[in-house]
Chain A
Amino acid sequence: MRLLTHNMLSSNIKGVTNGFPLLIEVEKVVEKQVDFNEDFLRNMFAKIEWKALVEASRTMGYTELPENSESSMLNSDEFLRKFHHALLELHLEEGALVCPETGRKFPVNKGIPNMLLHEDEV
């Protein structure tokens, strides 16, 4: 699971008001290279929750992203490549996503998070 997907998902447990971002518990990270696509990155930059991406990438062991971001950084090729790497090339293979409010763990196996809710959580 890429951090781009992590950046889109919120805890879906009934009653939770602040379910984003899900915390990450890492057991295994896999890096998979993909081609650099500048247009895509520029588009995504406006839609990404930056703090959540930085926090998540650090948890996954990647510390290169700046704490804060602004659109002028898109002029830097170096920045774009780091953004690319964090967003698309780091995969959480084994571990869990954790609801920030309830602490409930959604296990991640073979890169797939299980977000199915129990009956009392719906």
Chain B
Amino acid sequence: MKLKQLESLIGSLDQFENPKIELEQYPTGPHIASRLLYTAENSFEDVENKTVADFGCGCGTLGLAAALLGAEHVIGLDIDTDSLEIASSNATDLDLDMDFVHCNIRNLKWRDRIVDTVVMNPPFGTRRKGADMDFLFVALKVASQAVYSLHKTTTRDHVKRTALREYNAASAEVLCELRFDVPQLYKFHKKKEVDVAVDLWRFVPQKDREKHL
């Protein structure tokens, strides 16, 4: 599938009807979503034939993009039931299979590292400090191959340091810098639209050291 086609399909999805500010619900625009998944597949082969989890999936944007690029099994996880309903209907509209789990990412228990790739556009932590790092912490424990995530460019050094030193990441790379256009969604938004500089990251989890006899 070509990037433009992917971007167009993702752009046709329904988004939050009544976004909840305390959850920092912002739609992941088709420009960013398509590029995140396209890079993950074309540069790293982390999508096609893989098991992918979308942490904080919202209306399912990243997970559905993964499915469109050939992920064999996709799971979307979110704490908000209204978003999951929209995500579910988006999946049906595109005739795609996607599982959803209504949960709190922080306390969901996984049997093992069965998920290959985690993709996410986590809350940036403007309402709940450190929310994006909480998501990253969990993602690095769940994914067996790679984690793709978006974080504000202003936090770049902090993210890298924390991922490598505290969250046991084997590597942490900024793949590119993107502009996240935040539309005027909430009452406190004064401007019609604002650009936030975000980094697209690829993290590789450290797998448990093999036990030697």
Contact = CB atoms under 8 A, between A and B. Distances in A.
Interface of A: 1-2, 4-5, 7-12, 19-20, 32, 34, 37, 39-40, 43-44, 47, 49, 88, 110-117, 122
Interface in B76-135: 79, 81, 84-85, 88, 97, 99-104, 107-112, 114-115
Contact of A37 (B72, B79, B81, B97): B72
Contacts of B81: 114
Chain B interface SS verdict (over half): mixed
A20 B111 contact: yes
A116 B75 contact: no
B73 A122 contact: no
A9 B102 contact: no
Contacts of A8: 75, 110-112, 114-115
Nearest to A113: B101
Nearest to A21: B111
Chain A interface SS verdict (over half): loop
Contacts of A44: 51
A115 B112 contact: no
B129 to A, nearest CB: 19
A1 B118 CA distance: 18
A17 B57 CA distance: 29
8 contacts: A1-B100, A1-B101, A4-B51, A8-B112, A9-B111, A10-B109, A19-B109, A115-B102
Contacts of A7: 111, 114
A85 B98 CA distance: 16
B184 interface: no
B66 to A, nearest CB: 14
B103 A115 contact: yes
Contacts of B88: 110-112
A12 B109 contact: yes
A115 B111 contact: no
A19 B110 CA distance: 10
Which 5 residue pairs of A and B lie closest in terms of their CB atoms, listed nearest first?
A: A115-B103, A12-B109, A10-B109, A114-B102, A40-B72
Contact of B99 (A47, A49, A111, A116): A111
Given A111-B88, A116-B79, A9 B110 contact: yes
B135 to A, nearest CB: 16
Contacts of B109: 9-12, 19
A32 B111 CA distance: 25
Contacts of A112: 84, 88, 100-102
Given A8-B112, A32-B97, 20 more contacts: A1-B99, A1-B101, A2-B73, A5-B101, A8-B111, A9-B109, A10-B109, A37-B49, A44-B51, A47-B114, A49-B111, A111-B100, A112-B84, A113-B102, A114-B103, A115-B104, A116-B79, A116-B102, A116-B103, A116-B104
